[in-house]
Copies of this chain bind each other. A is one copy, B any other.
Amino acid sequence: MAKHNLRIIPLGGSGEIGKNMTVFEYGNEAIVIDCGIMFPANDMYGVDYIIPDFNYLVQRTDLRILALLITHGHEDHIGAVSHFVTAFPNVPIYATRLTAGLISVKLRDSQSKTEVRVFSANDTLNFGPFKVEPFHVCHSIPDCVGFAVDTPHGLIIHTGDYKFDNSPIDGKPTDYQKLASFGARGVRLLMADSTNADRPGWTPSEATIEPALDRAFTQAKGRIMVATFASLVSRVQIVAHLAAKHNRKLFVNGFTMKEYVKLAREKGYLDIPDNLLGDINKLNSYEPHKVVIMVTGSQGEPSAVLSKLATGRQRTMDLQKGDTIILSSHPIPGNEESVYRTINKLIERGADVVYDALDRVHVSGHACQEEMRLMMHLIRPQYMMPVHGELRHLVQHGKLAQESGMPSDRVIVAENGVVIEVDKYTVRTTERIPGGYIFVDGSSVGDIGKAVIRDREILGADGFLIASVNLNKATGAVLAEPQIISRGFVYLRDSDDLMDTIRQTILNSLQATRHNTEKRREMLEESLERTIYSETKRRPMVFAIVNEF
């Protein structure tokens, strides 16, 4: 007999829901699935990344966290692990082999003594009231799993990121058998990836990329560079096949790409014979038509190889006329501008650029609508909770569930931080726990909030101006020329007239007031703001410093 309700809490960043971290609680025992970061939106000024707010877990001192379970090695699922181990050093981390390797790299520089325990998709893991049965899924990094969590209130399926690829490069399709067997046993709740819920049909197999890449290889006269996510190991595998086929040596450029290739080869997820690989430092001793180079920067990241090539800042190699660059990727929403700008610059510098609009050199790693329907038919859950996506995706995934016959009151669409309670009778949303998500900027975690971001927005749009004035305390006379410091407002050297007006405003304002220092300061700021707006129709931040002697 179950004594408690099962509580499921999606935590995580802005934008996507139920993606970065999920807590399963039963009584005073809990397990956590994933611990990832989110990347900031363009208007989150200066924020490096965002981590889930697990302050709730820290404050629940009565709660024993038995394990952190990881579905796969992408940053949005493992990126905040170093923050987690600081808060919960004694909670062991469970991951499949490649994922564990990636986590270990991440924890290498920390003082962490946290154990990273490796499991395989065939294992069964027991944590107090939770029996966890992982199952293999296809995605855009090898060694991905979803989790079936057997609880006192029945079986809960958490798919993780997945697609149904029937011809995966590593030969391991998503585990239809196991999913069907869960369905046969009876599932209370399916929590499923909604990323592509607004895309009809099936996501094409990773194998469908090879012909398009082969075409690009066949047409290329000079060097070939392929940019993709470093973690997209199957893509590197395809490129390695084609390099061998087209008698080219394979080189790897870019820190992350090198790390991933090394780790994936070591762990046996990437089959590249030693003699196919070339040393990037000896690249120039090969003829152009004899080389393929895997590079980073497919999202237009300014510090990655591709952007540096586009702007002539790459140390190891420069762009050559006749280079073919293949972007085997698709811009993540928000990155479109920088990706297309990078492409334009590469073309301007003489490269031939192939990207996914021109040929199928990329496919998504997430299920489309037909796969979502298939997942629901395999699992046949009592309740359905779309996760992994923006609200619009979750709602659309929920509609698909209803079209497949799920009653609308059994579809659970919840925001991050909302508690889903499962008892004998029902699955429902209850309270919302306090907290949200945490900005990381530089070395500081969580000290940047909305107020600072709002100030950055104003400074980023109009800059600031500070006037510093020294007055004679007795007479109120201005001592020496006021000092003006301004950045991001106008180009001072070209703005003599405006600066004269501003200086005159300062003198006028100070003459007009016979108040105390603070009042003088306030009135000075106000008249400066007024003058500046009327002269320029801009609103920089304005400050005055008034010293009286």
What residues of chain A have their CB less than 8 Å away from a CB belonging to chain B? 41-43, 45-46, 198-199, 333-334, 336-337, 340-341, 343-344, 347-348, 353, 355, 357-358, 390-392, 395-396, 441-444, 447-449, 451-452, 455-464, 466, 468, 470, 483, 485, 487-491, 494-495, 535-538, 541, 543, 545, 547, 549
Q: Given A336-B333, A459-B488, A487-B541, is A353 in contact with B464 using a C-beta cutoff of 8 Å?
A: no
**A460 touches which of B45, B333, B448 (Cβ 8 Å):** B45
Q: Which of B343, B390, B455 is in CB contact (< 8 Å) with A392?
A: B343
State whether B444 touches A199 (Cβ < 8 A): no
Q: Are A347 and B537 in contact (CB under 8 A)?
A: no
Contacts A343-B392, A357-B198, A485-B543; A452 near B46 (Cβ below 8 A)? no
Query: Judging by beta carbons under 8 Å apart, are A334 and B336 in contact?
Result: yes
- Given the interface pairs A42-B42, A442-B537, A545-B485, the reply to whether A456 lies near B460 with Cβ below 8 Å is yes
Tell me whether B463 and A536 are in contact (CB under 8 A).
Answer: no
| B residues less than 8 Å from A535 (CB atoms) | 443
Q: Are A392 and B353 in contact (CB under 8 A)?
A: yes
B448:A459 contact, CB within 8 angstroms = no
Closest residue of B by beta carbon distance from A413: B347
| Contact present for B487 and A447 (CB under 8 Å) | no
Residue of B with least CB distance to A449:
B491
Contact A391 B348 (CB under 8 A): yes
Chain B contacts for A463, CB-based, 8 A = 46, 452, 455-456, 459
**What residues on B are CB-neighbors of A460 within 8 Å?**
45-46, 456-457, 459-461
Residues of the B chain whose Cβ atoms lie less than 8 Å from the Cβ of A396: 358
Measured between alpha carbons, how far is A3 from B448 in the docked complex, in Å?
67
With the chains together, A468 CA to B470 CA distance in Å? 12
Residues from chain B with Cβ under 8 Å of A538 in the complex: 46, 441-442, 444
Asked if residues B395 and A443 are in contact (CB atoms below 8 Å), the reply is no
CB distance from A364 to the nearest CB of B (A): 13
A487 and B468 contacting across the interface, CB-CB below 8 Å: no
In the bound assembly, the distance between CA atoms of A112 and B261 in angstroms comes to 65
5 A-B pairs closest in CB distance: A460-B460, A442-B537, A46-B461, A459-B459, A443-B537
Excluding A466-B543, A468-B547, 14 further A-B contacts by CB distance (< 8 Å) are: A45-B460, A198-B358, A333-B337, A333-B340, A334-B337, A343-B392, A344-B392, A355-B392, A444-B490, A448-B490, A452-B489, A457-B460, A468-B468, A483-B545
A291 to B337, CA, bound (A): 38
Are the C-beta atoms of A468 and B545 separated by less than 8 Å?
A: yes
Please indicate the chain B residues that have their CB under 8 angstroms from the CB of A337 in the complex.
Answer: 41-43, 333-334
Q: Which chain B residue lies CB-closest to A483?
A: B545
What is the distance, in angstroms, from A340's C-beta to the closest C-beta of chain B?
A: 6
Report the minimum CB–CB distance from A420 to chain B (whole Å): 18
Chain B, residue nearest A485 (CB): B543
Chain B residue nearest to A549 (CB atoms) is B549
**Which residues from chain B contact A334 at a C-beta distance below 8 Å?**
336-337
A488 to chain B, nearest CB (A): 4
Return 27 A-B CB contacts under 8 Å, by A number. Answer: A41-B337, A43-B337, A45-B460, A45-B461, A46-B460, A46-B488, A333-B337, A343-B392, A344-B391, A344-B392, A348-B391, A353-B392, A358-B396, A442-B536, A442-B537, A442-B538, A444-B490, A447-B491, A448-B490, A448-B491, A456-B488, A464-B464, A464-B487, A466-B485, A485-B545, A545-B545, A549-B549
Shortest Cβ gap from A161 to chain B (Å): 19
Shortest CB-to-CB span from A37 to chain B, Å, is 16
CA distance in complex: A538, B395 (Å)? 39
Q: How far is the CA of A545 from the CA of B341 in the complex (A)?
A: 40
Query: Which residue of chain B has its CB nearest to the CB of A343?
Result: B392
- Whether B447 lies near A459 (C-beta < 8 A) is no
B545–A45 CB distance below 8 A: no
Contacts of A344 in B (CB 8 A): 390-392
